[in-house]
Amino acid sequence: MARLVMKFGGTSVANLDRIRRVAKRVGVEVARGYDVIVVVSAMSGKTNELVGWVGEAGGALHDAREYDAVVSSGENVTAGLLALTLQGNGIDARSWQGWQVPLRTNAAHSSARIAEIPTANLDAKFADGMKVAVVAGFQGISPEGRITTLGRGGSDTTAVAFAAAFGAERCDIYTDVDGVYTTDPRITSKARKLDLIAFEEMLELASLGAKVLQTRSVELAMRYRVRLRVLSSFEEMDENAGTLVCAEEDIVESNVVAGVAFSRDEAKMTLVSVADRPGVSAAIFGPLAEAGVNVDMIVQNIAEDGRTDMTFSLPVDQVSRAQVAMEAAKADGTVNFHDLIADEGVSKVSVVGIGMRSHAGVAARMFKALSDEGVNIKVITTSEIKISVLIDRKYMELAVQALHDAFELEVARA
């Protein structure tokens, strides 16, 4: 029997009425002959509530094992309620918590990585007539037998991992948007829903700020070639609904640029007059990594008189952490610099597309579009299928609109 994985996010299961709607969608796929694995998130807002309770009960230095035990309970509730609803609709369904599958992880509580998903338990139940396995997303079991969680967005990762382990025909990710768009429709009304997007493009868009899919889930899908479909749980079902995330070779022709992504709350930090010597980069970025600072774009100026400036971008809410780490590194002699300058008023805007590999002039077109709008570029980084720039935050929406127009993204792929 063909297998299908369906994942429903928190807004899709926010209350009993929405859970009943989900059950109807699952029932349609069962009627089509699929054995279905449904992965569910906690009801909308429930995880935040549970995290808040952990903070109140355990304080800032709470036991991470108990954090996982509490926070994972939201998905358990949803799984049980959906299984009951499916049973009420005459469908043989059972709920499964992570430890029951079992979904085995490492012991990194609150940010665990999936190690293995044995299929024997669910296979046996499907063979006995079960039609739907409702799996609590976001959770697993450690080698020590403790409940673990996969980090925020972990239910997407759970769904893709199940699709890979069970050889599912497809993994459908139901959310509150009807697919992947060329950019955020709230920024420009010309944003267009994509019918197809390559794994590589989706991975870049997800990592650059697009919120549709969690980055780890896309990485997993690309590694195991799991076909993903992103679609809305609030619209009528249609064979052509949503966006299919697939291998590059499944897309006959690509626009040069697939989409424009942005990250609004970025910061730029510059270490002024750093000694230009072997090992200085390690001396800077080692302490930042240890402090948990997520460095992105890095630019080093041309050295002069044995000194250079080092500039990098980071999330704006990590600036104070980075400043403390750098001042400590300076105090203990790890790195020497004259001054530290932080600019907390910048955003990152990126164009992404696998078509860049075979088309010249993308950067020139991008920079001209920004120049025509009077947008100054502070930092530039590139990869094979991406160009990112750091600009003043007040120009971010203007930049996104200008780039969307410049690359004619309202026009469908050829």
Q: Binding residue per annotation — 230? A: no
Q: Evaluate whether 396 touches 261 at the Cβ level (below 8 Å).
A: no
Quote the strand ranges of 30-165, DSSP E. Answer: 35-40, 93-96, 104-105, 114-116, 132-136, 139-141, 147-149
The annotation status of 10 as a binding-site residue, yes or no, is yes
- Three-state DSSP class for residue 152: coil
Query: How far apart, in Å, are the Cα atoms of 393 and each of 167, 287, 348?
Result: 44, 27, 8
Distances (CA, A) of 99 to 31, 107, 124, 144, 235: 29, 13, 16, 12, 33
Cis status, amide bond into 315, omega within 30 of 0: no
291, 325 in Cβ contact below 8 A? yes
The answer to whether 8 is a known ligand-binding residue is: yes
Q: Closest Cα partner for 149 from 80, 97, 72, 42?
A: 72
C-alpha dihedral sign at 175, 180, 183, 185: negative
Residue 3 labeled ligand binder: no
Q: Is 7 assigned to a binding site? A: yes
Q: How far apart are CA 157 and CA 216, in angstroms?
A: 6
Find, among 353, 340, 373, the residue nearest to 363 by Cα. 353
User: Tokens representing 236?
Assistant: 């009528």
Sign of CA pseudo-dihedral 1, 122, 224, 41: positive
**175 annotated to a ligand binding site:** yes
Question: Is position 319 annotated in a ligand binding site?
Answer: no
Residues 329, 282: contact at Cβ < 8 Å? no
Residue entry with tokens 């949803």: 78
| 137 has binding-site annotation | no
H or E, element range at 81: helix 73-88
Half-sphere exposure of 160 (CA within 13 A, CB side): 26
47 annotated to bind ligand: yes
CA of 329: how far to CAs of 137, 180, 268, 274, 336, in Å?
41, 42, 19, 12, 8
The answer to whether 24 is annotated as binding is: no
Residue 392, Cα to own-chain centre: how many angstroms? 25
Q: Extract the tokens encoding 313.
A: 């971008």
* Annotated binding-site residue numbers: 7-10, 47, 75, 175-176, 181, 186, 211-212
* Annotated binding-site residue numbers for ATP: 7-10, 175-176, 181, 186, 211-212
* Annotated binding-site residue numbers for substrate: 47, 75
